[in-house]
Copies of this chain bind each other. A is one copy, B any other.
């Protein structure tokens, strides 16, 4: 029902030939109850009351339902890769200042050493520190605090086997009321992969899946957001990227709210097929101390990026009442730092570094 109505709203064309009565009947259903929600399809009770979610078709509601579904589907898919039935722990939390979230965490799995898939739906006043983070991105905003709404899903999965890459994705919708009372809204997000060892066919599968998702909406998206991802996930002081990239975008607010939402939904739905086959392929590969040590050193770089550069982390830590444990879920169980570590030339470790120092041109490769 939800999907059917969405289709109706975004492309009136499907109704060509339908009688006026039919249209009015659909509208009536829509007015009384947009949809029926089955909480069993989510990891927990949604943040917004069920009645509101069933009765409204507001973008806030549609975003919340979309991210709840993505969370559930991805968590169940990951659990399916655990060889001994390890499950995610589910924490539903509320925020004094308004809203809350659902944090799903796995620790000590045999496939996944640590991972989190988190949904948050929050509103309130954005403090000057967090406003500052946004102004740095070119938004013209006042100096004081501003009313905001944000709904998003964010996820980092650190597998145990060094041959399985870490994945991160985040999709979010944001509203801000400016000093003059006008409302701004935009979407942001992306999916990116951080392998410890570089397999070209895995990288190709990953980028191809993201490109196909983007291409559904606009052929210009993948080239643009692939580059944005390489730029964003750069560890400047190391002169290398965090991993092999993917897509990243922010401040997306055109051509229309509906089209932006559809694009973000397609991206979010592409996470599972982009990643799960790679997990399945390598999760039982043999490895030893050498590979584990290298994995932990690369995880140290992951920590450096997240704590020094990541705007999402900074934004979270600057937002009062934010849930620190959900934000810092992205940090691995273990990370390692060695002074002046540099792999021997022509090893598999050195090969990975090459790719992080000179990102592969997947735009050309995938279109040739």
User: CB within 8 Å of B: which residues of A?
Assistant: 89, 91, 105, 107, 114, 116, 236-238, 296, 300, 303-304, 307-308, 317, 324-325, 328-329, 331-340
User: Of B325, B329, B332, B337, which contacts A332 at CB under 8 A?
Assistant: B337
Chain B residues within 8 Å of A337, by CB: 114, 328, 331-333, 335
Contact indicator A116/B317 (Cβ below 8 Å): no
Q: Name the residue in A317, A325, A329, A335 with the highest tally of chain B Cβ atoms < 10 Å from its Cβ.
A: A335
Specify the chain B residue showing the minimal Cβ separation from A341.
B325
Contact, CB under 8 Å: B335 / A334: yes
* Chain copies in the assembled complex: 2
Q: Who on chain B is nearest to A316 by CB?
A: B237
Of the residues B307, B331, B339, contact of A325 by C-beta under 8 Å: B339
List the B side residues contacting A238 at CB < 8 Å: 324
Task: For the A-B complex with A107-B339, A328-B337, A333-B336 known, give 17 more contacts whose Cβ atoms are closer than 8 Å.
Answer: A91-B340, A236-B317, A238-B324, A296-B334, A304-B307, A304-B328, A307-B307, A307-B308, A308-B308, A308-B317, A325-B339, A331-B337, A333-B337, A333-B338, A334-B334, A334-B335, A335-B337
CB proximity of A1 to chain B, nearest CB, Å: 36
With A296-B334, A333-B336, A337-B332 known as contacts, the answer to whether A324 contacts B105 (CB < 8 A) is no
Closest 6 CB pairs of A and B: A307-B307, A331-B337, A237-B317, A105-B339, A237-B324, A307-B308
Most buried by B among A107, A116, A324: A324
Q: Whole-angstrom distance between the alpha carbons of A340 and B338 in the complex?
A: 27
Q: What CA separation (Å) do A325 and B236 show in the bound complex? A: 13
Q: A237-B324, A303-B307, A307-B303 are in contact. Are A336 and B338 (CB under 8 A)?
A: no
A115 to chain B, nearest CB (A): 10
Do A300 and B331 touch (CB < 8 A)?
yes
Cα-based distance from A290 to B242 in the complex (angstroms): 32
Q: Which residue of B lies closest to A89 (CB)?
A: B339
Q: How far, in angstroms, from A237 to B314 measured CA to CA in the complex?
A: 11
- Find chain B residues with CB under 8 A from A304 CB: 307, 328
**A117 CB, min distance to chain B CBs, angstroms:** 12
Q: From residue A120, how far is it (CB to closest CB) to chain B in Å?
A: 16
Question: B338 near A335 (CB under 8 angstroms)?
Answer: no
A325's nearest neighbour on chain B, judged by CB, is B340
Listed A/B pairs (7) with beta-carbon separation below 8 Å: A89-B339, A91-B340, A236-B317, A238-B324, A303-B303, A325-B339, A335-B337
What distance in Å separates the Cβ of A326 from its nearest Cβ neighbour in chain B? 9
Closest Cβ of chain B: how far from A95's Cβ, in Å?
15
Complex: chain B residue closest to A329, CB-CB? B339
Q: Which residues of B contact A336 (CB under 8 A)?
A: 333-334
Q: Among A91, A238, A331, which residue has the most Cβ atoms of chain B within 10 A?
A: A331
Most chain B beta-carbon contacts within 10 A, residue among A105, A236, A304: A304
A222 to chain B, nearest CB (A): 32
A236 to B127, CA, bound (A): 15
Interface centre among A236, A303, A317, A339 (most CB of B within 10 A): A339
**Contact, CB under 8 Å: A339 / B116:** yes
Please measure, in the bound complex, the distance between the C-alpha atom of A289 and the C-alpha atom of B325, giving whole angstroms.
24
Complex Cα–Cα for A116 and B333 (A): 25
Which chain B residue shows the least CB distance to A236? B317
* Complex-state Cα separation, A107 to B293, whole angstroms: 15
